[in-house]
Chains A and B, each alone.
Chain A
Amino acid sequence: MRLGHERPDDDHYVAFASSALVDLRRTAYLICGDWHRADDVAQEALIRIYSAWSRIERTTGLMPYARRTVVRLLVDHSRRPWRRETTGVAVDPAPVRDQTDVVDNRILLLEALAQLPPRRRACVVLRYFDDLSVAETAAALGCSEGTVKSQTSRGIDELRSVLEQRGFTDLGLLKGVTT
């Protein structure tokens, strides 16, 4: 089955890529903790969209497709061992903290996120950073809504635990976070 006029015109593609790239690479960064890798998967997702633009636009929607591709490239199994079995996450080297006990929430949060298993981390990022619904997150991850709920809940619990272990003093950060 070949559909005609699948490709977008150049202006449309560049406009979409420009706007989507910012969000995609940030989502990817929160999931993988590595800007270079985030760029790679965001770029790959946008390249894949090009050749089936019309179909994706008509069915999945461009941004959901791009986000799903990013997540799957980072998280999901694939036939190649190095992608299928990738789990460990290295956050970019954290800046050395100063000696004044000033806690950098940003760094602590990234470190805590990196402690979560990949799919759990993706659930938290998609739900709270991308503000996706449970159903949208399930679609992005290719799993059931129940799985999203349980994984997100466990992810938040683990985040809270890790932050507390690290002496994070602003315990209100996760207070009231519901899944």
Chain B
Amino acid sequence: MTTLAATGVLRYSWLLLAFPVFGATVLLIGGRRTDKWGHLLGVLMSLASFVYGVIAFFTLLGYAAPDRSRDLHMYSWIPVAGFQANIGILLDPLSVCFVLLITGVGSLILIYAVGYMAHDTDRRRFFGYLNLFIAAMLLLVLSDNYVALYAGWEGVGLASYLLIGFWQFKPTAAVAAKKAFIANRVGDVGLSLAIMLMFAEFGSVSFTGVFSAFSSGHFGGSGVASALGLLLLLGACGKSAQVPLQSWLLDAMEGPTPVSALIHAATMVTAGVYLIVRSNPIFNAGPTAQLAVTVVGAVTLLFGAIIGCAKDDIKKALAGSTMSQIGYMTLAAGLGPAGYAFAIAHLLAHGFFKAGLFLGAGSVMHGMDDEVDMRRYGGLRKLLPITYVTFGLGYLAIIGIPPFSGFFTKDSIIDAAWEKGGTSGWILAACAIIGAGITAFYMSRVMLMTYFGPKRWEENGVLGGAGAHPATKEPHVPHPHESPLVMTVPMVLLAIGSVAAGGFLIINSRLVDFLAPVVGVPPTSHGIWTVPGTIALALALIGVGIAWAMYGRVPVPAVAPRGSVLTHAARADLYGDALNESVLMRPGQWLTRLSVYFDSRGVDGLVNGLAATIGGTSGRMRRLQNGFVRSYALSMLIGAVLLVAGLLVVRL
């Protein structure tokens, strides 16, 4: 497809970026002066971007399908003779989907955060960072070349770091922020190497330049495509918390809940999927890379799901679920044109229901004095009715009960994997189907432990114990209450999205047709009810049943039982941290120690030895200076004799 110049209202698409950049600048530079109205400005800028995004979306819809890719050149960022990196805005069906997701869901979460962060003295800074994040994320999805995309990619990483560590007085939050940043760096190296390879091979870093090389077949064999694909996959793994760079996402839950909802569930962690789908010509030409993408996706979707089963922290259970769902998207993105559109469909639907679930979790925490242990919840459905209903709708969406979102989008992915055929297709589809069953189990577990059963929170108040009132030593008893309207309204809107988005996008192939100019058309189309989808639904119902048998029928113990070996492994994040520690950290420390030893003994030894030799020699030579005139006279005489003798020898 060809890219046309932006005309009409799209000439102002720079506004999309300008609004949040303006908000972030004012809030972060303005300082305490903006404390009173800062959060309102943040929300307003995000909403303004959303409004423009909607206008741009309908403008694009007004064009004929092949003309929907519109590029706006803004300025030459790095103009060097052969290297042109421009700041340009590419509005096409793919990026506009992301614009609507980021600004739409983002605005809802910002509105929610007004209520959630109401008692935080640093609320203005929080909104500044969030606006910075939205700006960076929009740059990521809107740029028309890889270098500007990389700038956005790093920008969201920075915003993620700042927001995970927002409560930096908590050591766990500060450490989690650093962990996320470092894990992301590993992936970023992959992306930057991919960009360098693109420039070396094609002399261009723009989407059109690179992709035209692939469409014309001049790309130096599938080896280049596979190398590029694998490097991009490494980048995607870092940003999207896919195995083997998954370990940071669970710790990232130390950030405030709106951050978890916006960055670590709905938008930023899906940037990897965007990167793969955006680079579809590269992956289409590199089957090895595609296979790697599907394997990563399948492994991660099971990995995340298993972790989600064992966590008692409600946010960490949801974080495991996020990993797992992004695994589905990655799996779909690895299937080629058969899966790209479904990856995006699941991504959009996931943006709704996972953001809704996180906001629900935040609402529960808000009412429970920031308690996150699900073993101390229970019976909250009567006390938090709106949260219960919206969370429940998100729950039904994620486990794929028809007619909610997840049913359509997840089953499309399972079908696409199934239709890939061959052994790999069977294995991938089996992983996806089993993953659906586990998803139903752990989400039902969250649901049952939080909202059903007897209340378990009063028993934990002990006189003078932890969490007791500091002055009176009275045991502290939470009083769960429904959140204010500013928090519940976004939750309701997201719940509506999680109910309707999947069906809206999948039925009549709406999203598939819309994205077709960018990502191609799936080779086969399938109906709503398919054999693998039905199996997945049956497994999901079994998962719900098992969860009910374990957590609904019998009371939930307040202290976690010992559990099986698998439970222990899952509680320890399937030893992801232990693996990193033993494979990377300890050898790294050894290497450091070796370097220090070599430096202190080898390099320093050489230099110090030289100095000591000179010093010692000087010390001995100093003895010659004994102050006796006659010995100086003797040395002068000897010198003179030697000189004369030398002269005589030379003359002879």
Bound pair (A, B): no
A-to-B contact residues, CB < 8 Å: none
B-to-A contact residues, CB < 8 Å: none
